[in-house]
Structures are given as C-alpha cells and as structure tokens.
C-alpha cells in the first residue's frame, strides 16, 4: 500500500510541473514562497538535505531532494502540508538541496 501511494505521489509531482527551490550546499538556505502565502526552504546539514514548509495547504504534496558529494541523488518521503523532511546521503556530505512542491492531493 505504501509503495503504491509513494508511486502515485511521485507521478503526481512529476506530471504537475513541480516548483523547485534550489539551495547550494555552501550557501545560506533558499526561501521560496509556497502556494497561498506559505513558504518553503531547503538547506544542507551534514549528510542530510533538510526541507521545511510552513503555511501551505494541508493537502499540498512536497518532498526534499539532495545531491550527495558522491554524485548520488536521494529524495525524502513525500510530505503533506506543513512540516520537515530529510533526504539522507549516508556518510557523504550534501552538495545541493531543493524542494519540489506538487499538487493538492484529493
């Protein structure tokens, strides 16, 4: 059931033309306005890419992506509404982080 839901949300994010907020690993966090007046930010924290969204709709799907120094890309689990998500690079530092904001989930 979880895999089906995750696959469905991934397809929804990809097909909706998601809004992405990049953040370089050695720069300050990047803030983007979220849908309907909220905000989201993404920043590196050691081996984690961290994403935070606040003030967005409770049914709004989003995820944080991280590109590791090793070249591997990882993605957090999907979140709905306000919250924090992390993408784990294991023992490799994070080179780049971003937030993908998707559609409202029915």
Tens-digit pLDDT profile for residues 32-88: 666 567 889 999 999 999 999 999 889 999 999 999 999 999 999 999 999 999 999
Q: pTM to 2 decimals?
A: 0.69
Domain extent for 83: 2-104
Domains in the chain: how many in total?
1
Report the alpha-carbon distance of residue 57 to residue 88 in Å, rounded: 26
Contact 35, 16 (CB under 8 A): no
Number of H helices, E strands in the chain: 1, 9
Res 103 pLDDT > 80: yes
- CB distance 51 to 62 below 8 Å: yes
For residue 88, what is the domain's CATH number?
A: 2.60.40
pLDDT (average), residues 2-11: 43
């Amino acid at each position: 059931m979880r895999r089906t839901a995750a696959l469905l949300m991934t397809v929804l994010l990809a097909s909706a033309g998601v809004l992405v907020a990049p953040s370089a690993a050695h720069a300050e966090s990047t803030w983007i306005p979220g849908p309907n007046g909220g905000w989201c930010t993404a920043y590196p924290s050691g081996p984690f890419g961290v994403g935070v969204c606040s003030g967005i709709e409770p049914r709004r799907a989003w995820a944080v992506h991280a590109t590791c120094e090793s070249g591997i890309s990882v993605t957090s689990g999907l979140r709905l509404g306000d919250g924090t998500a992390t993408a784990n690079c294991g023992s490799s530092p994070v080179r780049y982080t971003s937030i993908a904001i998707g559609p409202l989930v029915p």
